[in-house]
Each structure stands twice: as structure tokens, then as C-alpha cells.
Amino acid sequence: MGNQVYEGKCASCHGPQLQGLIGPNLTDEFWIHGQGTRLDIMKVISEGVADKGMPPWGPLLKKDEMLSLTALVHSKKGSSPPNPKLPQGQKAQN
Ligand code: HEC
């Protein structure tokens, strides 16, 4: 289910393999918001970043969709897709 939601709502900005496009690469060790923990990922998906073009998805997603998406993003860490967007943010400390 995470995959379907991702393809429908996220891939246009983060790329079909999460490699980054308009939005940042979600598979590398660099994060603009937090350290890439499940909690950090869920918070930014839910609240968005209004002034940077990341929409707040909290009001639009069911709870299980949010959890599946969070798990999907978290699981793709280190997946090294082709043509990644250059790192943005800080390298995670953990
Ligand atoms: C309209 C384009 C757009 C869409 C659609 C979008 N995002 Fe984003 N996203 C962004 C941008 C731009 C940022 C960077 C925000 C910043 O610079 O602070 C971002 C940031 C993020 C981050 C934090 C990355 C980091 O380095 O801290 C996560 C996680 C994320 N998005 C997940 C998602 C998920 C999951 C979806 C689908 C539900 C989604 N995004 C849909 C544009 C988008």
C-alpha cells in the first residue's frame, strides 16, 4: 500500500525511486529535517514544509497510509537508486 500511495502522491516530486527531483533524495544519509528516523519522516510528511513546497499530508492520508508511507521511505534508506539528486541538508549522526 505504501508503494501505491507513494506513486500517486510523492513520486512526482521525489522521483519514482525516491532519488529526488523537485524534492530531496529520500534514500541518502542527508536530511534537511531531522535524522531520517521514522518519527522525523512521519512528522515532515504529516506537517509538510509550507514555504519550501512540501505539502502537509497529515489531513489527506488515513493513519494506515501514513504508517505505510513512513515505513516505505525508511526502508529505502541506502537503496542507492540511479541518478540521485545531490545531497541536501545535514548528514545523519546515527
Ligand atoms: C509538490 C512537491 C512535493 C510533493 C508532492 C511531495 N514532496 Fe516531500 N518534499 C518536497 C520538498 C520541496 C521538500 C524539501 C523541503 C525543504 O526544503 O525544507 C520535501 C521534503 C520531504 C521530506 C524530508 C526530506 C529531508 O531531507 O528532510 C520527506 C520525508 C518527504 N518530503 C516525503 C514526502 C512524501 C512521503 C510525499 C508523498 C506523500 C511527498 N514528500 C510529497 C516536495 C514535495
Closest CA to 10 of 85, 71, 91, 69: 69
Pick the atom of ligand 1 nearest to 70's CA: 35
Q: Which residue has the cell 512526482?
A: 12
| pLDDT (tens digit per residue) in 43-75 | 999 999 999 999 999 999 999 999 999 999 999
CA 25 – ligand 1 centroid, Å: 9
Separation between Cα atoms, residue 13 and residue 24, nearest integer Å: 8
Q: Is the pLDDT of residue 94 over 70?
A: no
33 CA closest ligand 1 atom index: 27
**Is the predicted pLDDT of residue 31 greater than 80, yes or no?**
yes
What confidence tens digit (pLDDT) does each residue in 9-24 have? 999 999 999 999 999 9
